[in-house]
Amino acid sequence: MDARPAGPDDLPAVAATLAGAFMDDPAWSWVLTDPARREEQLFAVWSLLLEGGVDYGWVWMTPGAEAATLWIPPGMPELAAPQEARIGPLLHELLDGDVSRIDTLGERFMRAHPAAPDHYYLSLFGTRPDCRGRGIGMALLADNLARVDTEGRPAFLESTNAANLARYRSVGFADHGAFDLPDGGPTVTTMWRDAR
């Protein structure tokens, strides 16, 4: 797999890939209810997350940003202080002040996230819609996991789309837990991969 860490100049392309990948995601569709605005909203939120994570050296991409991942290394915050200060105002702006669903999702993510042992956290993973079905995303994920394995670390993720569970299981993740989102929202499955 020809994967490389993304740099700051790559982030718009990576954010666009991930925004497209999450357009029909059950949990993010539950949060961002207007399909006409969803891609723009996802792009803005993912851009901020990527900006906060790029310095870790764990935003990975294929050469043309066909697929991308954002990993948070052990012991590091998902959002560094500058991005943490901007996320609340950004969400209020994007959601016209109605942040109840995003707050619910974030709170449930936090509650379900294991505190120990130290692990790599797969925060975002997606393939551009026009590149799906070719194995590009799974090859990138396998490459990333091989790098995690060289450090002998476990890994954790939340799957917001049940259609992806078999893919994650195929690379060594096992179901860890689950939670339902209210008001007819989907089930989110947490997954853990032991250190190798």
pLDDT of residue 187: 97
Sheet holding 187-193, edge to edge: 4-5, 59-61, 67-72, 120-127, 155-159, 187-193, 174-180
Q: Provide the residue type at 138 as one letter.
A: M
Partners of residue 156 on adjacent β-strands: 121, 192
CB–CB of 69/137 below 8 Å? no
Strand pairing report for 155-159 and 120-127: parallel
- Residues 68-91 have pLDDT tens digits of 999 999 999 999 889 999 999 999
Provide CATH code, domain 4-193.
3.40.630.30
Q: Is the pTM of this model over 0.75?
A: yes
Q: What is the DSSP letter of 117?
A: S
User: Which portions of the chain are predicted below pLDDT 50?
Assistant: none
- Residues 15-44 have pLDDT tens digits of 999 999 999 999 999 999 999 999 999 999
Return the domain boundaries, the chain: 4-193
pLDDT of residue 2: 87
